Amino acid sequence: MAILPIYETPDPLLRQISKPVAEVTDEHRKLIADMFETMYDAPGIGLAAVQVGHPIRILVIDLQEPEEEGGEPVKDPRVFINPEILETSENDIPYTEGCLSVPEQFADVMRPDRVKARWLDEHGERHEEEIDGLLAVCLQHEMDHLEGVLFIDHLSKLKRDMVLKKLAKMRKQGRVAA
């Protein structure tokens, strides 16, 4: 396994629409293992393949919920290949989102609190499930990457410009990679 470089805005690769995976191969499974290692190292809770230079419809999520207060997080790695959202709830909720491709920046984004999704896992098996809470938010966030959309695109122009200005200032100060 390897830690892969994470592409950051304004890299044009992040704006590409990712291509579907025709068949899940060992090469895809190796990429998935590398994506988990990269995500855990960053650290983050979700990562799309395009964020590590592969514009294909693969994403990984692990919310790493704590077992109990002060305990070690319990890993629950989930793989989503060619994910589709079939239905969304009408109830949007705000969630403070961040992104490994927009380092150290956070903003509230409104998203449906529940989705019905379909996807393949790393073995090529089909899944369909109703998902809610943080997992639903994270899935929608990561699926946006597959369409070339960043969480900051959901913000008003004023808020988006403020986030990008803060990021540019941090880069200039050397606090995040340029």
Q: Is 72 helix (H, G, I), strand (E, B) or coil?
A: coil
Chain centroid, CA 46 distance in Å: 4
Exactly one of 68, 128, 142, 147 is catalytic; name it: 142
Alpha-carbon distance of 115 to 176, in angstroms, equals 34
Measured CA to CA, the distance from residue 159 to residue 156 in angstroms comes to: 5
Is 125 noted as a catalytic residue in this protein? no
Token representation of residue 31: 């990429």
The DSSP symbol for 22 reads S
Distance CA 85, CA 139 (A): 9
Name the residues annotated as catalytic. Answer: 142
